[in-house]
């Protein structure tokens, strides 16, 4: 962990908070479908940096949103993230045996169970957002549902993964790679940063600023991730290293080289922080996060 002193305990505290919320919100392991529930819990609990959850919790705090409500939205986002990792790891997709330092879901269970666990996690995430406990105002809840659905659909996360899969056989230019990454990982990160504004019923200009922050942060994060794929070991990042290159995947590191990619990630992180000006010192942890995502070693 290379997070700044103030960020580190905040990340840990929020990870613990969202872990507790996930434990409550994921289905209990019982009935004939127990194996499915077990796989959902296996793939979602006990792992990950919870960066998306952190974004939800910290942007919600800017508007003094009830922490219990924010934690439900954070948990929903982490369910979506977990589902996307389960499906991305499948043999027909990236064929990854390791995830978060343990066997990926289809290796720990089987392919059918992994497909269904991802499917059921997506449904549960929307159910959690829709339940009255998430916000007393139905308008706020439906806004969250609509924005999340858009972020993860054909013009969002799924579309990005499709382009990434095709990228194996295509020579993408830097611009096309950036769009692919904006869809594949950027949209959900942007949603997470906007979620606090939606929960807080914030004015549009503030929501837009958080959206811009999330967009730049997501781009910086993804480039930094691709740099780590080249420079880190599997033990450090908890998943198979060097896969992008081995699979001939399109990344900006492949186009630009490590040094230029790293410089670009840092510029994006700086730009992300600049969108937060209106929030003053309240947004310091969000600023620290932007620096952290490009300086982390795992």
The structure tokens 């529930």 sit at: 37
- Footprint on residues 178-237 left by a copy of itself (CB under 8 A): 179-180, 183
Among 166, 174, 246, 263, binds a copy of itself (CB under 8 A): 166
Question: Which parts of the chain fold into alpha helices (H)?
Answer: 7-25, 34-44, 51-62, 67-88, 105-108, 111-130, 138-152, 157-167, 174-181, 187-199, 204-231, 234-237, 243-246, 252-256, 258-274, 284-295
By CB under 8 A, which span of 3-11, 52-60, 121-129, 227-235 interacts with a copy of itself? 121-129
Choose the binding region for a copy of itself from 10-18, 63-71, 163-171, 227-235 (rule: CB under 8 A): 163-171
Q: Does 103 bind a copy of itself (CB under 8 A)?
A: no
Q: Is 251 in the site for a copy of itself (CB under 8 A)?
A: no
Does 161 sit near a copy of itself (CB under 8 A)? yes
- CB 172, CB 155: distance < 8 Å: no
What distance in Å separates the CA atoms of residue 185 and residue 52, rounded to the nearest whole number? 11
Place of tokens 């659909």: 153
238 lines the binding site for a copy of itself (CB under 8 A): no
Among 295, 290, 292, 293, which residue's Cα sits nearest to residue 275?
Answer: 290
CA distance 56 to 286: 11
Q: Which residue has the tokens 């919600």?
A: 60
Nearest approach, Cβ of residue 155 and a copy of itself (Å): 7
146 binds a copy of itself (CB under 8 A): yes
**Binding residues vs a copy of itself (CB under 8 A):** 27, 31-33, 35-37, 40, 83, 87, 90, 92-93, 110-113, 115-116, 118-120, 122-124, 126-127, 129-131, 138-139, 141-142, 145-146, 149-150, 152-156, 158-163, 165-166, 176, 179-180, 183
């Amino acid at each position: 962990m290379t997070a700044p002193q103030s960020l580190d305990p905040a990340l840990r505290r929020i990870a613990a908070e969202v872990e507790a919320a996930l434990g409550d919100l994921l289905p209990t392991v019982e009935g004939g479908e127990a194996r499915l529930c077990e796989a959902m819990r296996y793939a979602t609990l006990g792992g990950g940096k919870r960066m998306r959850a952190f974004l939800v919790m910290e942007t919600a705090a800017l508007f003094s949103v009830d922490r219990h409500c924010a934690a439900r939205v954070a948990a929903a986002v982490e369910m979506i993230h977990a589902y996307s990792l389960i499906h991305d790891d499948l043999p027909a997709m990236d064929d990854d045996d390791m995830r978060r330092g343990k066997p990926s879901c289809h290796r720990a269970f089987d392919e059918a169970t992994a497909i269904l666990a991802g499917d059921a996690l997506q449904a549960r995430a929307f159910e959690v957002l829709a339940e009255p406990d998430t916000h007393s105002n139905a308008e706020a809840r439906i806004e969250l549902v609509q924005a999340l659905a858009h972020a993860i659909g054909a013009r969002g996360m799924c579309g990005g993964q499709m382009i990434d899969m095709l990228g194996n056989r295509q020579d993408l230019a830097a611009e096309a790679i950036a769009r692919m990454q904006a869809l594949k990982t950027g949209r959900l990160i942007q949603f997470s940063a906007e979620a606090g504004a939606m929960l807080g019923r914030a004015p549009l200009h503030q929501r837009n600023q958080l959206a811009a922050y999330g967009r730049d942060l997501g781009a910086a994060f993804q480039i930094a991730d691709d740099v780590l794929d080249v420079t880190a070991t599997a033990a450090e990042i908890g998943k198979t290293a060097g896969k992008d290159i081995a699979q001939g995947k399109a990344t900006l590191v492949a186009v630009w080289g490590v040094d230029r990619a790293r410089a670009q990630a840092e510029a994006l992180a700086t730009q992300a922080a600049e969108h937060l000006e209106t929030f003053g010192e309240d947004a310091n942890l969000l600023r620290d996060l932007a620096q952290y995502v490009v300086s982390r070693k795992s």
